[in-house]
Amino acid sequence: MTPLVRIEDLRVRFRTAERTVHAVNGVDLSLMPGEVVGLLGESGSGKSVTLKALLRLLPEARTTMSGRMAVAGQDVMALGGSALRAYRGSVVSMIFQEPMLAFDPVFTIGEQIAEAVRRHENADRTAARARALEMLDRVRIPSAKRRLDAYPHEMSGGMRQRAMIALALACRPKLLLADEPTTALDATVQIQILLLLRELQKEFGMGVIFVTHDIGVAVEVSDRLAVMYAGRIVERGSARDLIRAAAHPYPRGLLASTVHGAMRGRRLDAIPGAPPDLAKVPDGCAFAPRCRFADAECVSRRPDIVRIDAGHEAECRRLDAVAASAEG
Amino acid sequence: MLQYFLKRVLYAIPIALGVSLVCFALVHVAPGDPLASVLPPDASLEMQQLMRTIYGFDRPLPVQFALWLWRAFVGDLGVSIATGRPVAGEVWHAFGNTFMLAALAAAFGFLVGGLLGLLAGYYRGGWIDRTASTLSIAGISVPHYWLGMVMAIVFSVQLNWLPATGAGPGGSAAWSWDWEHVRFLILPALTMSAIPLGIVARSMRALVGDILSQEFVEALRAKGLSERGIFAHILKNAAPTALAVMGLQLGYLLGGSILIETVFAWPGTGFLLGNAILQRDLPLLQGTILVLAMFFVILNLLVDVAQTWLDPRIKRA
């Protein structure tokens, strides 16, 4: 089976008058059809930028991109003009973090879904509206018919995110990009949206790249996880691999600093220091300055990717020392 | 929507009443006896008393106001002291002339200004933006009576393309829609459009820039819309605010410009107002201001209603 998504050595730089930011520094990622990959990392780790690069949404004037990206057999880097517009929304679509901001405030929800259908399927107004209604039903918005004519500000946060999902899935994309879709929602609504996404993903058989900074959420929805740090994937594996046997010090630190596994009365282990300034790419491991296992070589030379198990890899030179410290 | 409209009309009534009260008060607030301009200085006391009764000045003020309001309501604005003709006819005629001028100036200024602003906002920082910004700042800051004189010198005196003054060949008062008459409109209308053009362009540029920086524009791109499709979204988002700016500008234009109408000897409300002030023709001044103020009230009402209709976020309650 050929992968749905294949990203090789993706690099993204943003240039402004004062400085250059190296947001993504060599990301390799592939995704099989129908697979859900969770992209995990803190703010500024390059996870959202990777998603936007897949849709070529980054402002062209200020962005330099290199590497290869292929989705469903199309060379994403080479797309332009009408081919790029035909690709956006029909092959790949996106759910945004804040649906209140991602919907146009002066058009109704129905109009905005129908617009995408008309754009990609040459449907007339009636057919596009019928599809919009069908989609609102699919994401289980109550009294969908009435909601079709509602404006975004007339709906609750959870309903808006459901409508956003309806919009994203209206043209049956092969790949869905979800950019922290539950971060702006209440905890109870979060779970409903996650369950809905998981269910629709199975039903539509799409591949999903799910970006989040919340490990709990990532584990809930993903088949595989990839942890990003300073624009690189530092560890990847099945959700199970990462939760039970994270190898790289950064994901281990992340796990130790979440409330999920912690005991009442014990201090949470925070990762010391702050994420690096991405004005220049470090020569060695970007995590080295915050890592208690790092030695001189970690700082000067980029570590190789170490294969731990089938499909479980980490980019670290000191895996043995890390593992030993866990046992000791 | 109908209910909202009726409600807004009801709100407009007290505003209109307030405005008429100010107009009415003009006569009584203005220094001197309003009769002084009608009567000879050596008029006898009986004569003065008689005139006072004829004009109704002997009655209590609220009664005078009610009577005046009622007459204005049925279209009687009194008689001009300077010409002896009914004020209503004078104002109506002048207003027709100013309306033509304002409509043309607004059409040109809003169209060109709106387009410039849209392009400047869309291509922010580019050469279109710089050109548009220069033009709009010039439009706002150049004194328009000066601009009018320069236009007259260039296009009438030097090039001899267009007439410099009047509203028709041979100073005729009858208007008709042919080139012989319309060419008289062009210079004053262009001069008058400079300010609204600049203001509309500048507000449009800011609006478009603001809309483009919102996240939904990226979401529209993500669903595969073309730049033209995105432009339609920008337009609908900009429309309510743009409309409010344009409505206000149209109001100013309808008020006529004393300076421009004087420079081009255009027989509009501005010209009329100028004359009324210079000749201390109080009934004429009162009538003109009342009519203009009413138009302003009605225009604001229309803009409000249109804005509500365009922007779903404004509550219709």
Rounding to the nearest 10 degrees, give the CA dihedral for residues B226, B227, B230, B236.
-130
Q: What pLDDT shows up at residue A115?
A: 93
For chain A, the domains span: 5-91+173-327, 106-169
Asked if residue A228 has pLDDT above 90, the reply is yes
Q: What is the mean pLDDT of chain A?
A: 88
Q: What domain range includes position B255?
A: 93-280
* Domain boundary, last residue among B41, B73, B105: B73
Same domain, B63 and B100: no
Element of type H or E holding A234: strand A232-238
Give strand pairing partners of A14.
Answer: A21, A63
Chain mean position to CA B223: 43
C-alpha torsion sign, points A15, A16, A22, A28: negative
Distance from CA of B165 to the nearest CA of A (A): 47
- What pLDDT was estimated at residue A167? 93
Work out how many domains chain B is built from and give that number.
2
In chain B, DSSP finds a helix count (H) and a strand count (E) of 12, 0
Q: What is the pLDDT of residue A262?
A: 55
On whether both B163 and B232 belong to a single domain, the answer is yes
Same domain, B106 and B44: no
CB pairs under 8 A between A and B: 72
CB A104 within 8 A of CB B237: yes
What does the block give as tokens for A30? 């592939």
User: Is the CB of residue B316 less than 8 Å away from at least one CB of chain A?
Assistant: no
Closest-CA residue to B206 (of B280, B113, B139): B113
Q: Do B224 and A89 touch (CB under 8 A)?
A: yes
Closest-CA distance of chain A to residue B219, Å = 6
Return the residue of A nearest to B312 by Cα.
Answer: A106
Please count the other Cβ atoms lying within 10 Å of the Cβ belonging to residue A74. Answer: 16
Interface check for B224 against chain A (CB to CB < 8 A): the answer is yes
CATH number for the domain formed by residue range(s) A5-91+173-327:
3.40.50.300
Confidence of residue B317 (pLDDT cuts 50, 70, 90): very low
Integer Cα distance of B217 and B227 in angstroms: 10
Residue A165: band (very low, low, confident or very high) from pLDDT cuts 50, 70, 90: very high
What is the dihedral angle through the alpha carbons of A149, A153, A156, A160, rounded to the nearest 10 degrees?
A: 70
Tell me which chain B residues have a C-beta less than 8 angstroms from the C-beta of A98.
215
Looking at residue B224, which CATH number applies to its domain?
1.10.3720.10
- In angstroms, the CA A123 to CA A129 distance is 9
A63 sits in the region (left: phi over 0; alpha: psi -120 to 50; else beta) called beta
Cα of B312 to nearest chain A Cα, Å:
6
Q: What is the pLDDT of residues A187-214, one digit of tens each?
A: 888 888 999 999 999 999 999 999 998 8
Q: How many CB atoms lie within 10 A of CB B65?
A: 17
Tokens describing residue A214: 């919340």
Are B50 and B187 in the same domain?
A: no
The whole-number pLDDT of residue B247 equals 87
Q: Where a domain ends, among B20, B43, B73? A: B73
- Angstroms from A187 CA to nearest CA on chain B: 24
- The 10s digit of each residue's pLDDT in B146-177 is 888 888 888 888 887 877 777 766 655 667 77
The answer to whether the CB atoms of B224 and A101 lie below 8 A apart is: no
Determine the residue among B123, B223, B313 to mutate to test chain A binding: the one whose Cβ has the most chain A Cβ atoms within 10 Å.
Answer: B223
Query: To the nearest whole number, what is the mean pLDDT of chain B?
Result: 83
Token pair 């946060």: residue: A157
Span B84-94, pLDDT tens digits: 788 888 888 88
Query: Would residue B110 count as lying in a domain?
Result: yes
Count of CB atoms situated within 10 Å of the CB of B33: 12
In a domain, B272, yes or no: yes
Residue B52 shares a structural domain with residue B180: no
